[in-house]
Chains A and B, each alone.
Chain A
Amino acid sequence: MKTEIIKLNNVIKTYGDVKAVNGISFSVNMGEIFGLLGPNGAGKTTTIEMIVGLRKPDDGSIIINGLDNIKDIKKIKEIIGIQLQSTSLFDLLTVRELIELYGSFYSTNVDYDTLINDMLLKEKQHARVKGLSGGQKQRLAIALAIVHDPQIVFLDEPTTGLDPQARRTLWDIIIKLKNNGKTVILSTHYMEEAEVLCDRIAIVDSGKLIALDTPNNLIHDLHRENAIEFYCEDDFDISSIKAAEEVSNINEHNNYFTVYSSNITKTLFTIIQIANLNNWILRDVKTRTATLEDVFISMTGRRLGE
């Protein structure tokens, strides 16, 4: 039986003329890693900051663990831990001093030594924040977020700007949080990160929720298990391929074609046949499994990075 630990109902936040969050509703289940996926400026950070009580929604309601997040924000702060995207810490304090300081802000604390060990910061515990690497800083930020053993942990783009190895180290830590029974709300604009980590993903774009499901369902529901990509300088006529039953969608971008098909053998054969008949030259022909990136493109018409 799944328990809803967070529930957003038609939440709206406007800055001037811009609707940063435009009527978002979803629920997060206890114990899952819930992903908020979307490009920069989609409203991920604003959504997280409203849930944790740092911003007030213009409309709608947010319930956390049965408590209203405006009336009962004090009680809520005790059971949530946050790592904010734009946070910097006191540069001149050491890792251990900061953990002890943030620990003192709460009535309950985890064991500091265990926490420092778990976050792989033992060797750096007496180093000042100033001298930490990007990955170490993010691990410290997560340590500060869980110093009071919260039920729910919010991580706003924790891996942005990290090198691949530091990113993977952080993934392990996030999975460990889940294994320890915490609910994790994670925002990211990396598709593969959401696919690897999240139990469920909410795709947001321009302040709206455009899809919400498990990574597999998101891909399967669109019947895009496979994609064929190719480049053709000639004026490739896609109408005959599009008509085929097994082809669900075709995207064209600067003469790069992406064809989604449930029968890759048949579609690939058709494409090559048409090209051969018309003497069109195909280059860079590739086949691959469809990803969340494809889901995003089909829903928004844009790539994530754009």
Chain B
Amino acid sequence: MKSYLLLTKAQLKIFARNRQVLFWTFFFPVFIMLMFGAFVGKDQGIKLSTAIVDKDNTKLTKSTIKNIKESSLFNIKENLDKDTAYERLENGNVDLIIEIPKGFTQKLNDQVRSPLEITVYYNEKNYSNAQVGITLVNNIFDNISKDAQNYNPLFKITPKGIEAIKIEYIDFLVPGIVAMMIMNMNMNGVAGQIASWRERGILRRMQGTTLKASNFISAQITARLFLNGTQTFFVILLAWLVFDIQIRGSLVGLVLFTVLGILTFMSLGFIIAGIAKTPESAGPIAGFLSFPMLFLGGVFFPISNMPELLQPIVKTLPIAQLTTSLREIMTLGTSISELSFELFSLIGWMVVSFVIASFTFKWE
């Protein structure tokens, strides 16, 4: 018992005295969070920079432009002559040019049944934005046509978000960053440290004493739980202070999944340390496992953006279960009982990897 306490204390002292490691492991997730949060977080969705060349220039076209302006998706630039607008479209400063032809007002009053052509210029280099823009412009003028002809729609579509919560990218990102930090600190961190201690004979020297392996491993787990818990707390605190993110679900659930994640990735780290013959090979092996998880596991992008075929596979990864559960709890306030798939999968991962780790652990 005394050896367990002193080993835990020793490991925490080693963490605290290794300032550089401590700083960079903490700074990295914070940096990513601030960077993504600042650049991606504010402007949610797309904003189409659109120039309108009004050749008709009447009271009616002005009010039509005003209507388009109200749509939050357009960033309208008026009063550009056609050449300037065209030039800007070419070098990418403008996504679309809508050209309202002469006779637009007259056409609306005429009620003649052949449609007047409204030209929308776009740049193929910016294809996806242009596609969205063309669809939207189509909609707007379709509505104007319908209104003008007193068209009564049979159906009306009302979009309603079922969660009824405004979620921004930063809300999505912070749980992902926390999961990433847990994976890096534990899987990569443990693998590197244990492999290096083994290489340097530190573990061997301890094997020569009456110390039990279980005491050594428990102390490692305790120290890392403590350190990671603190780091997670500060990352969330910072996200709250800077980006005003909310934790809607239970703190118990958050702590539960954080602990499960730490234990699972630590065990994986111990397994890697057991496989790696040298500390130099522990890094690449851990990288080989953590890199795909970082990109597939829902840290930065939703898993639902993955190809359909890949999704069921991705969902079996521990990182996916960790990001999903942390995200659901933090942003949506989902209860633990609704996250039973994530809970039991993660427990499964933890148990299996812990068993393998304890069988493959070698002092030397």
Contact = CB atoms under 8 A, between A and B. Distances in A.
Interface stretch (A64-72, A87-95, A195-203): A87-95
A265 B204 CA distance: 55
A105 B206 contact: yes
Interface in A83-127: 84, 86-90, 92-93, 97, 100-102, 104-107
24 contacts: A53-B208, A54-B207, A54-B208, A77-B208, A77-B209, A82-B208, A84-B201, A84-B204, A86-B201, A86-B204, A87-B201, A87-B202, A87-B205, A89-B202, A90-B10, A90-B202, A92-B13, A92-B14, A93-B14, A100-B6, A101-B7, A104-B3, A104-B6, A107-B210
B208 A84 contact: yes
A4 interface: no
Of all A-B residue pairs in the complex, the 3 with the closest CB atoms, nearest first, are A105-B211, A105-B209, A104-B3
A144 B7 CA distance: 15
A89 B206 contact: no
A52 interface: yes
A30 B6 CA distance: 34
Given A78-B210, A84-B208, A105 B202 contact: no
Contacts of A102: 209
Interface in B132-184: none
Interface of B: 2-3, 5-7, 10, 13-14, 17-18, 200-202, 204-211, 364
A2 interface: no
A74 interface: yes
* Size category of the binding interface on chain A: 20 to 34
User: Of residues A52, A86, A101, A105, which shows the largest number of chain B Cβ atoms within 10 Å of its Cβ?
Assistant: A105
A132 to B, nearest CB: 15
B237 to A, nearest CB: 27
Contact of B18 (A77, A89, A92): A92
B205 to A, nearest CB: 4
B2 A52 contact: no
Given A92-B17, A93-B10, A93-B14, A105 B210 contact: yes
B2 to A, nearest CB: 4
Given A87-B201, A90-B202, A101 B209 contact: no
A101 B10 contact: yes
A54 B210 CA distance: 12
Given A88-B201, A92-B14, A97-B13, A106 B209 contact: yes
